[in-house]
Structure 1
Amino acid sequence: MKKKQILLIIFLAVAVIPILFTACTKKAETKVTQEKVQTYTCPMHPQIVKNGPGTCPICSMDLVPFEKNNAQDFLILGASQRALANLNTMKVGENEFSHSSRLNGRLVTNPEQTVYVSSRVAGRIEVLYVKETGVPIRKGEPLYKIYSEQLSSLQQEYLIATAQVSSFPEDKRFYQMKNAARQKLLLYGQSEAQLSDLVKKQKVSPYVTYFAPNSGIIAELSVTEGQYVAEGSSIMKLEDYDRLWVEADVYPSDADKIRTGQKVQVIVSGYEDQPQTMTVDFINPALQTSKQIMQLRGTISNPNNQWQAGLQAIVLLPFSGQKYILALPVDAVIRDGNGSHVWVEIEKGKYQPRMVSLGAETFDEVEITGGLKNGETVVVSGAYLLYSEFILKKGKNPMSGMKM
């Protein structure tokens, strides 16, 4: 009997020892496996995942640890963390929303108010009364004096014709010759006052002064003193900045909102407190080949020439009636290549990312057309910090796997 008990004890010992060894081995393997779960990622590039510490091959930042199998889709922050991140929330509700589209534009010179001054006759520039660009000129002020033997001959011809008319007042042919000589001088840029002065003094001069045909700013000088010019040569360019064109880029999706004669609002960069009302004068019917956009154009007044051509401007169109919709501040919405999302406070200190679809947008607000319900609490300040914290702790984009 004792012999049987001893054999039973030996048999149990032989059976239990392998089982205990196997359990210890599995425990050790589990521990090793858990240790291998610890991986590292880059805070700025979560697609970089390594099994050990190091630096990011993209931005060279130090990698930080995260749990790769962390499947929680929310963040929990304490009171001190919320205060440090300056998190502010608001309940989503229907508010009045005035919709207007923003178009990027610029101020350009109005070519209808640009005057090119060219030489009426061949000759030599004796005097330039304006020697630099940017100088304002009023209509009637002298621009340049030219030496021209051709004008001297025409003046002599006119004086002879005038004398013949005085001597033979009944002969109509002399009147015709006088009018022809007078018309030549007028076509060459002589004024009525200059012709009257020529008849009064009875003295020709090869030096003739030309005056500004319009007021404006000297935008371009093409000659210098002493330079010979041919008939029709460019002398200078005058630009009037009292009225400027506004050209704005229009995407094809906004083309149906615009029509010629429509009133729009223009905000010049740096002068946001002085919005201007503009009428759309022209809409280019063709798309620009390189940009695939259209252009609209209108004119605004430029009091005291306070604006310069080249300034950036924003064109707002069209103004629609106010409506009640779900809207959030623009900064509450985070956008990237995967879409747009906000952070919803599901409990006090517990925040979850939520993908949303957007509608109309203004300077301050954006319409939420899907993804949120009336009464939900959304983070409106500090959303980008939550976004970074999620990537840092979870090692993935908050919107990965989400579907609208």
Structure 2
Amino acid sequence: MKNAFSIAFIALAIGGALGYVANGYFSDGQSSKSNDAASNEPLYWVAPMDPNYKRDKPGKSPMGMDLIPVYEEDLTGGSNDPAGTVTISPAVENNLGVKTTQVKRQKLAPKIDSVGYVNFDESQLWQINSRVSGWIKNLSVNAIGERVLAGQVLFEVYSPDLVRAQEELLNAKRMGKAALVNGAKDRLRSLGVDNGQINDILRRGKTRQYIAIKAPADGVIATLNIRNGAYLSPQQTVISGGSLSDVWVDAEVFERQAHWITPGAEATMWVDALPGKNWQGKVDYIYPILDPATRTLRVRLKFSNREANLKPNMFANLTLIPQTKESVLVVPEQAVIRSGNMSRVVLAAGDGKYRTVRIETGRTAAGMVEVLDGLDLNDAIVTSAHFMIDSESSQNADLNRINTHIPTEPVSQVQTTGVIRNIMPDHKMLTLEHPPIPEWGWPAMTMDFTVSDDSDLSQFVGGQSVRFLITKQDSGQYTLSEIQADEAHSSTNMDHSTMDHSTMDHSTMDHSTMDHPPQVPAMEEAEQ
């Protein structure tokens, strides 16, 4: 009997001990779960497209979008990051297709497209003018464009003036006076007779009725103004021609592009008549006068034409590549977000962190944009999906100054007055309507503030005028302290019937140092 009682007592004791331990375990678990649940409660709800529109319960934004909850870790997790920093998980980065590139330094020059016409190289043109009156015989060229060689006889001319000049030469030779002979030779040369024919006249000892006129250089005939039997008069242009070993192309560039073009700049040319071929040349001359009608500047380019495929008056397509010696910081043009007079990019800070920064841009060429200020060499910027990141980051980012210009001693405390619009004792928050705060570039507006732990909110009521101290914490949040009733100001003297914080324009507000704490604008007044 005693043994049975002992066994029952021992079993009861063991069961009691196990029950106590289990109860403590599950009680701790429930307490932990309760604490976790409490810590995971949203602090407030915010509009997806306007972080200044905040409420203490779920609802709709002025745009009809569901408000999203903000938790404590959302406010404290990035407190050491610059304003406007957003964090994106690797999975979301992959889904968005985020791509980055580095800021680099390179020569920046645009490729300028133009058109032009092929012409003779005018430095190699030649022409034959008549220096005497006479008649044409044995014309050897019949059409423009015919090729001729240097020294080739183009035509023969009979002129009484040439016959008399030959007789003077022969008479001087018979007289044996060298001075007269040299003078007669010079006269024949001035009339267009070459040395070979003069020597032949002296050797034969008699005049030639017809003097041959020869081509001075290789080339093609450009103009032909005579025919067999035609009569010539002095100063008449008879034949002209030129070489096509090199050609000139006259092109035009717009006034805004003219400063890029310098002599020696490279150019590429192709013509529709010869598909698949292109020629490399250089800018030979820049005309000094702008065309007032077309607002374009003429540019002359020179190309080699050894194969003689290019013909005068051909239509040509051109790409000019300006020369530049200076290397500048550049980013892809697609990475730059332009809004009004502002340009900005999304900076990749690493570890999934991104923020919008303002930059100052310069010239644009070949898909690249010159960066004058705001970025450093090798900075990583986003080139794809950056508009989506910017829409979130730019709401809180400081875009009133270039990224590199950061004030050294910002104001950390401001004393001001305001009117209480809402009291949230459970959250230790006040909704206050305050005047402009020039120290931080804030306009007059209604916003929410977290109050210091030693502040007693029970002594205040809605609509009461108060004086308070705003302090910027190291975390970037703003808190209120030293809150006192301001009897000198009465809320009845202020007309705020037209103020709606949900539709306020904060474009002029300097958010350079601002990271709003939980804010809930006056719900009743804003919604009425």
TM superposition score normalised by structure 2: 0.42
Q: Any idea what SS the aligned residue of 1:185 has?
A: helix
Shift of 1:275: 4.2
Q: 2:297 aligns to what?
A: 294
Change beyond 3 A, Cα 1:200–1:232: same
Residue from 315, 321, 337 that aligns with 1:317: 321
Closer/same/farther in 2, CA of residues 227 and 366 from structure 1, 3 Å limit? same
Cα deviation, residue 225, structure 1? 0.7
Deviation at 1:203, TM superposition (A): 1.7
Q: How does 1:52-131 map to 2 (within 5 A)?
A: 94=101, 99-106=109-116, 107-131=118-142
What is the distance in 1 between the residues matched to 2:277 and 2:228?
A: 46
In 1, Cα distance between equivalents of 2:321 and 2:295 = 20
- Per the alignment, in what secondary structure is the counterpart of residue 290 of structure 2? coil
Conserved 8 A contact 1:250-1:296? yes
1:16-35 correspondence runs (5 A): none
Q: How many residues align?
A: 248
Q: Which residue of 1 aligns with 2:384?
A: 375
1:134 paired with 2:145, answer yes
Deviation (angstroms), 1:184: 0.4
The letter of the residue matching 2:114 is N
- Partners of 1:117 and 1:234 within 8 A in 2: yes
Deviation at 1:116, TM superposition (A): 1.5
Q: Distance in 2 between matches of 1:159 and 1:242?
A: 42
Task: Give the root-mean-square deviation of aligned CA atoms.
Answer: 3.3
Amino acid at match of 1:250: V
Contact 2:101 2:382 in 1 (8 A): no
Equivalent residue number for residue 265 of structure 1: 267
Q: Distance in 1 between matches of 2:163 and 2:120?
A: 38
8 Å CA contact retained: 2:140, 2:155:
yes
Residues 131-189 of structure 1 deviation map (CA, whole Å, 9 limit, x = unaligned): 11211001000000111111111111100100111xxxxxxxx3222111111011111
Q: How does 1:298-309 map to 2 (within 5 A)?
A: 298-309=301-312
What's the TM-score once normalised by structure 1's chain length?
Answer: 0.54
1:319 positional shift: 5.3
Q: Distance in 2 between matches of 1:92 and 1:264?
A: 34
Per the TM alignment, residue 263 of structure 1 is displaced from its structure 2 partner at its CA by: 2.5
Q: Percent identity?
A: 21
SS in structure 2 at match of 1:203: coil
Structure 2 residue ranges without an equivalent (≥5): 1-96, 336-360, 372-380, 388-528
Q: Kindly state the Cα deviation for residue 99 of structure 1 after the two structures are TM-superposed.
A: 4.8
Contact kept, 8 Å, 2:265 with 2:323, in 1: the verdict is no
Q: Which residue pairs with 1:50 in the alignment?
A: none
User: Quick one: which amino acid aligns to residue 325 of structure 1?
Assistant: P
CA distance in 2, matches of 1:131, 1:245: 26
Q: Quick one: structure 1 residues 204 and 103, their matched pair in 2 at CA, closer, same or farther if it must change by over 3 Å?
A: same
Asked if the contact 1:242/1:303 (under 8 Å) is kept, the reply is yes
1:375, 1:117 → 2: CA distance? 66
The CA deviation string for residues 40-59 of structure 1, in whole angstroms up to 9 with x for no partner, is xxxxxxxxxxxxxxxxxxxx
Residue 374 of structure 1 aligns to a residue in which SS?
strand
User: 1:327–1:368: 8 Å Cα contact kept in structure 2?
Assistant: no
Q: What is the distance in 2 between the residues matched to 1:119 and 1:263? A: 41
The alignment partner of 1:100 has SS state of coil
Worse overlay, 241-250 or 317-326: 317-326
Structure 2 CA distance for aligned equivalents of residues 273 and 223 of structure 1: 37
Give the distance between the partners of 1:375 and 1:233, measured in 2 at CA: 70
Residue 316 of structure 1 deviates from its aligned partner by: 2.0
Greater shift in the superposed pair: 91-100 or 285-294: 91-100
Does residue 210 of the first structure (1) align with residue 219 of the second (2)? no
Return the letter of the residue paired with 1:105. V
Question: Which structure has more helix as a fraction of its residues?
Answer: 1
C-alpha contact 2:262 2:322 (8 A) present in aligned 1: no
What is the CA-CA distance between 1:247 and the residue it aligns to?
Answer: 2.2
| Deviation by residue 1:93-130 (Cα, 9 ceiling, x = unmatched) | 54999752313132322221111111221101122011
Q: Which structure has the larger Rg?
A: 2
What one-letter code is carried by the residue in structure 2 that aligns with 1:188? Answer: L
Q: Quick check: 1:264–1:316 contact (8 Å CA) kept in 2? A: yes
Higher relative contact order (CA 8 A, sep 6+): 1
